Amino acid sequence: MVQERQTQGKAVCWTLRLWSVAVVSMLLLSTCFIVSGIEKMWASCPNHWKSFGSSCYLICTKENFWIISEQNCVQMGAHLVVINTEAEQNFIIQQLNESRTYFLGLSDPQGNGKWQWIDNTPFSQNIRFWHPQEPNLPEEQCASIVYWNPLKWGWNDVFCDNKHYSICQMKKIYL
């Protein structure tokens, strides 16, 4: 009888431990789910801006010079777009009109081949999407993204004082 009670007691204790582990695991998973949901719910972009990763993008519908385009972005709390990955480039080109040219936040102010991003992100050797033979003129000191048939979308150096459309980028707003 005593041995039977000890066996039952051990079984009850083992069952309680299993249930405790299950409950704690469920609470941890629920917490993770809730936290990730809140993070996604509270990260947003302004109206008419497109969301990708941790950034928001706006395709500007008015042509302007490069410096004016950058100033317009800055007035909205943004800057001309900085492309860091192929996935980001692919997302952006889905938003663009193939008949237009768009300024990037990339320039070569001295015309010496030392391209730099507007936000001081290092200009990576392996993240470049120039069209073949581009950049080709030291006088063309601003970069654009343009669709050339049959090459598709790519970067091109252009004169900064030509008017083009542009793409603004800002970090998502977290509330």
Q: How far is Cα 118 from Cα 93, in angstroms, rounded to an integer? A: 20
Cα–Cα dist 89/55, whole Å: 13
35 and 83, same domain (yes or no): no
Buried b (16+ CB within 10 A) or exposed e, 12-23: eeeeeeeeeeee
Could you tell me if 105 and 151 lie in one domain? yes
What integer pLDDT is reported at residue 127 of this predicted model?
Answer: 77
User: Is 12 or 59 the better-scoring residue by pLDDT?
Assistant: 59
Range from 18-22, 59-63, 130-134, 136-140 carrying the lowest mean pLDDT:
18-22
pLDDT number for residue 56: 98
Tell me which residue range forms the domain holding 107: 46-174
Residue 97's Cβ-count burial label (10 Å; 0-12, 13-18, 19+) is exposed
Q: pLDDT higher for 29 or 46?
A: 46
- Domains in the chain: how many in total? 2
Count of other CB atoms within 10 angstroms of residue 122: 9
Q: Are strands 101-107 and 164-171 parallel, antiparallel or unpaired?
A: parallel
**pLDDT band, residue 63 (cuts 50/70/90):** very high
Nearest to 44 by CA among 159, 167, 140, 171: 171
**Residues 160 and 76 reside in one and the same domain:** yes
Q: Are 37 and 60 part of one and the same domain?
A: no
Residues 135, 98: one domain?
yes
Q: Which pLDDT band holds residue 39 (cuts at 50, 70, 90)?
A: very low
Examine the pLDDT at 154 and tell me if it is beyond 90: yes
Residues 9 and 23 in one domain: yes
pLDDT category at 10 given cuts 50, 70, 90 is low
pLDDT of 120 over the 50 cut: yes
Per-residue pLDDT at 67: 98
Greater confidence, 96 or 127?
96
Calpha distance 146→133 (Å, rounded)? 14
Q: Average of pLDDT values for 130-152?
A: 96
Q: Same domain for 102 and 164?
A: yes
* CATH assignment of the domain containing 127: 3.10.100.10
Give the mean model confidence (pLDDT) for residues 125-144.
Answer: 92
Is the domain of 80 the same as that of 130? yes
Q: What is the pLDDT of residue 162?
A: 98
